[in-house]
Structure 1
Amino acid sequence: MSRSDYPPGYDEAHGPMYAPQGGNYPAAPAYGFPAYGGPPPGQPVAPYPTGSNAPLFSGQPGNYPQGNYPQGNYPPGSYPPGPQGAGYPSQPPMPPIMPITMPSDVMSSDDEHEFAARGADWDDVSIRHAFIRKVYMILASQLLFTTAIVAVFTFVEPVRYFVQRNQAIYWASYGVYFVTHLVLVCCKGPRRKFPWNLILLFIFTLALSYMTGSISSFYDTKAVFLALAITAVVCIAVTVFCFQTKVDFTKCRGFFCVLGIVVFVTGIISVIVLSFKYIYWLHMLYAAIGAIAFTLFLAYHTQLLIGNRKYSISPEEYVFGALSLYVDIVQIFLFLLQIIGSSK
Structure 2
Amino acid sequence: MSKSDFPPAYEDALHGPRPRHGNYPQPPPAYGPYPAQSSAQYPGQAGYPLGYPPSGMPYSIPLGMPTSNPAVEDDEYPYSTAWESISIRHAFIRKVYLILAAQLIVTVSIVAVFTFVEEVRAFVIRNPAVYWTSFAVYLVTYCILVCCEGPRRRFPWNFVLLAIFTLAMSYMTGTISSYYDTKAVLLTIGITAIVCIIVTVFCFQTKVDFTSCGGLFSILAIVVLVTGIITAIVLSFKYVPWLHMLYAAIGAVIYTLFLAYNTQLLIGNRKLSISPEEYVFGALSLYVDIVQIFIFLLQLVGASTD
Report the TM-score when normalising by structure 1.
0.71
The aligned length equals 255
Task: Tell me if the contact between 1:298 and 1:329 (Cα under 8 Å) persists in the aligned partners.
Answer: yes
CA deviations on 1:2-38 (whole Å, 9 max, x unpaired) are xxxxxxxxxxxxxxxxxxxxxxxxxxxxxxxxxxxxx
CA deviations on 1:118-154 (whole Å, 9 max, x unpaired) are x252111110000000000000000000000000000
* Equivalent residue in structure 2 for 1:98, among 36, 48, 64: 64
Task: Tell me if the contact between 2:56 and 2:128 (Cα under 8 Å) persists in the aligned partners.
Answer: no
Q: Which has the higher helix share?
A: 2
Partner of 1:4: none
CA distance in 2 between counterparts of 1:98 and 1:91 reads 18
The 3-state SS of whatever aligns with 2:216 is: helix
CA deviations on 1:284-311 (whole Å, 9 max, x unpaired) are 1110110000000000000001110000
* Equivalent residue in structure 1 for 2:127, among 161, 166, 170: 166
User: CA 1:95 to 1:115, structure 2 compared with 1: closer, same or farther past 3 Å?
Assistant: farther
Q: Return the letter of the residue paired with 1:315.
A: P
Q: What is the 5 A alignment of 1:244-259? A: 244-259=205-220
1:266 CA drift (Å): 1.7
Q: Return the letter of the residue paired with 1:108.
A: V
CA distance in 1 between counterparts of 2:155 and 2:57 reads 41
Partner of 1:202: 163
Partner of 2:229: 268
CA deviations on 1:240-275 (whole Å, 9 max, x unpaired) are 000000000000011111111221222122223222
* Equivalent residue in structure 2 for 1:316, among 277, 284, 300: 277
Q: What is the 5 A alignment of 1:105-184? A: 106-112=70-76, 114-116=77-79, 119-184=80-145
CA distance in 2 between counterparts of 1:291 and 1:302 reads 16
CA deviations on 1:136-177 (whole Å, 9 max, x unpaired) are 000000000000000000001100100011111112211221
Q: Return the letter of the residue paired with 1:101.
A: T
User: CA 1:97 to 1:272, structure 2 compared with 1: closer, same or farther past 3 Å?
Assistant: farther
Partner of 1:213: 174
CA distance in 2 between counterparts of 1:101 and 1:265 reads 17
1:329 CA drift (Å): 0.3
Q: Return the letter of the residue paired with 1:250.
A: T
The 3-state SS of whatever aligns with 1:111 is: helix
The 3-state SS of whatever aligns with 1:108 is: strand
Q: Return the letter of the residue paired with 1:161.
A: A
User: CA 1:93 to 1:229, structure 2 compared with 1: closer, same or farther past 3 Å?
Assistant: farther
The 3-state SS of whatever aligns with 2:60 is: coil
Report the TM-score when normalising by structure 2.
0.79
CA deviations on 1:73-97 (whole Å, 9 max, x unpaired) are xxxxxxxxxx9xxx95598853424
Question: What do you get for the CA RMSD once the two structures are aligned?
Answer: 2.0
Q: Could you tell which deviates more after superposition, 186-195 or 205-214?
A: 186-195
1:234 CA drift (Å): 0.1
CA distance in 2 between counterparts of 1:91 and 1:193 reads 36
- In structure 1, runs of 5+ residues without a counterpart are 1-82
Q: What is the 5 A alignment of 1:5-154? A: 88-89=54-55, 93-103=59-69, 106-112=70-76, 114-116=77-79, 119-154=80-115
The 3-state SS of whatever aligns with 1:159 is: helix
- Runs (4+) of structure 1 moved beyond 2 Å? 87-103
- In structure 2, runs of 5+ residues without a counterpart are 1-48
Task: Tell me if the contact between 1:99 and 1:260 (Cα under 8 Å) persists in the aligned partners.
Answer: no
Does structure 1 residue 243 correspond to structure 2 residue 204? yes
Task: Tell me if the contact between 1:284 and 1:338 (Cα under 8 Å) persists in the aligned partners.
Answer: yes
User: CA 1:93 to 1:226, structure 2 compared with 1: closer, same or farther past 3 Å?
Assistant: farther
Partner of 2:192: 231
Q: What is the 5 A alignment of 1:186-201? A: 186-201=147-162
Task: Tell me if the contact between 1:306 and 1:312 (Cα under 8 Å) persists in the aligned partners.
Answer: yes
The 3-state SS of whatever aligns with 2:180 is: coil
Identical pairs, percent: 69
Does structure 1 residue 339 correspond to structure 2 residue 305? no
CA distance in 2 between counterparts of 1:308 and 1:160 reads 45
CA distance in 2 between counterparts of 1:177 and 1:157 reads 25
Q: Return the letter of the residue paired with 1:107.
A: A
